[in-house]
Amino acid sequence: MNWCSRGIRNAFRNLTRTFSLIIILGLSIGLSLAMFISHQAVTQKINNVKGSVDNTISIFPAGLRGFAGGGTPLTQSQLKSVSALPHVVQLNETLSDRLTSSDTNLQSAVSAGFLGRRFAGNGFGGNVKFTPPVTVNGTTSPTDLAVSAATTGGGSFSLLSGTVFSGTSNSNVALVGTGLASKNNLKVGSTFTAYGSNISVVGIFSSGTRFGDNQVVMPLLTLQRLSGETGDVTAATAYVDSVTNLASVTNKIKAVLGSAADITNSQQQAQNAISSLQSIQTISLYSLIGAVVAGAIIILMTMVMIVRERRREIGVIKAIGSSNLRISGQFMAEAVTLTIAASVIGILIGAVAANPITNMLVSNSNSSNSSAAANPGGGVFRQRRFSGAFGGLHHSFANIHAVVGYGIIGYGLLAAIIIALIGSSVSSYFIAKIRPAEVMRVE
């Protein structure tokens, strides 16, 4: 038997104390592990959110929004310098126009109604017999309806039949909204006229809104050619690799396009989403530190108590020739044994508790944020913005899932052993201070 096996055996010298200590330390290690797993899961989610949620920059010609306002179209050559900027992963461009009865044989699927007539009265010289025109969008990304949101309300693209044309195509092809297709009896393979040319329907889609389903989507180059607006763009959306780069890329685009464009981004919404996740991350980190410190204190105090209790025994071992180092090693082996035994329990607790703890943190944070969002004090517009942000956030929270892998278990064990070694190293100081002469004194 050597110092190491003596240490291991000493760990089970007092079974009641050993059992109690293993349970307490196991709880501490379990909580540490659960918090570590939770922290990892939230950190990963933050990175995902940063990479995917609303990391877009909207670019419009200065003074224009949809079919309101005025100004000069942007050009594709201007936007080339935007797509070349660092962190811009994609740039979708759109040219929007309205097809009236003189431009097309298509009949609008949306009736004017009260609002249409009112808008027509204001906007079209009091023409109360106004029929809403058909909106046509030429785009480099046919499935991205967000880029034409200003003219058609955006929505989610869903192909009902046919195929989607290439964003770089220059053919006379179009995707037709399902409402417009029904109104004009169009199917895949049908043709209609626009700008005096025949256009083939290659697909029918739904956007989820009646207005959005009353539109025609063409390749950007095709619409530019047919409408005689070569190189013009009325809206563009830049996608940034991470929300953390959103502000800097926005500033760079502003610098590139200057006063020619109005540029906005979704920074605030993204920040709201991330700040909520970050608060969970902070809570889990502090809890992790707290649990680790608690574990370290438990093992430290236990080892100090054990050393004090065995002063005489340590004195005897010194008296018969052992070095302080060897005795410290024995106590370290004891501490590591206790900690490994506690780690087994801790890992089980951590594996079971990680997901419930993460969910609890998420639901607490989510409910507090929802209540904050319910009355943000910023009017209807702000309320809608926040509701949207937290709606997305709730969705992202629902997908947070803590995973217990072998790597995490390994890290947990390593951390526990380090805690044990640090905890028992303090007891080494007390061991060194014990004078062997004390054992000569009869108690």
Partner 1 sequence: MLKVTDLKRHFKSGDSIVAAVDGVSLKIPDGQFVSIIGQSGSGKTSLLSLLGALDKPTSGSIEVDNQDITRVSGRELNRYRAKTVGFVFQSYNLVPNLTALENVMLPMEFLGLPKKLRLERARQLLEEVGLSADQMHRKPGKLSGGQQQRVAIARALANKPKYILADEPTGNLDSETGKLIFNLLHDLSKKEKTTIITVTHDLKIAGKTDTSFKLKDGKLAKGTDR
- Binding residues vs partner 1 (CB under 8 A): 1-3, 6, 9-10, 13, 312-313, 316-323, 326, 435-437, 439-443
Nearer to partner 1, 4 or 112 (CB): 4
Q: CB 424 → partner 1: shortest distance, Å?
A: 17
Q: What is the largest CA-CA distance in the chain?
A: 117
State which residue, 11 or 408, has the beta carbon closest to partner 1: 11
d(CA 46, CA 51): 8
6 vs 45 by CB, closer to partner 1: 6
Nearest-approach distance from CB 440 to partner 1, in angstroms: 5
CB of 8 to partner 1, least distance (A): 11
Nearest to 36 by CA among 384, 291, 339, 277: 291
Q: What count of other Cβ atoms lies within 10 Å of the Cβ of residue 258?
A: 10
50, 136, 154, 178, 210 from 161: Cα distances, Å = 34, 19, 20, 10, 18
Q: Do residues 181 and 188 lie in contact, with contact meaning Cβ atoms separated by under 8 Å?
A: no
Radius of gyration (Cα) for the chain, nearest Å? 34
In whole angstroms, how close is the CB of 311 to partner 1 at the nearest point? Answer: 12
Least gap, CB of 436 to partner 1 (angstroms): 4
Residue 357 near residue 38 (C-beta atoms within 8 A) = yes
Q: For residues 14 and 101, which CB has a smaller minimum distance to partner 1 in the complex? A: 14
Q: What is the enclosing helix (H) or strand (E) of 359?
A: helix 324-374
Considering beta carbons, is residue 395 or 435 the nearer one to partner 1? 435
Query: Looking at beta carbons only, is 381 or 443 nearer to partner 1?
Result: 443
Count of residues in the chain: 443
Cα–Cα dist 38/277, whole Å:
11
CB-CB neighbours of 239 under 10 Å: 18
CB of 300 to partner 1, least distance (A): 22
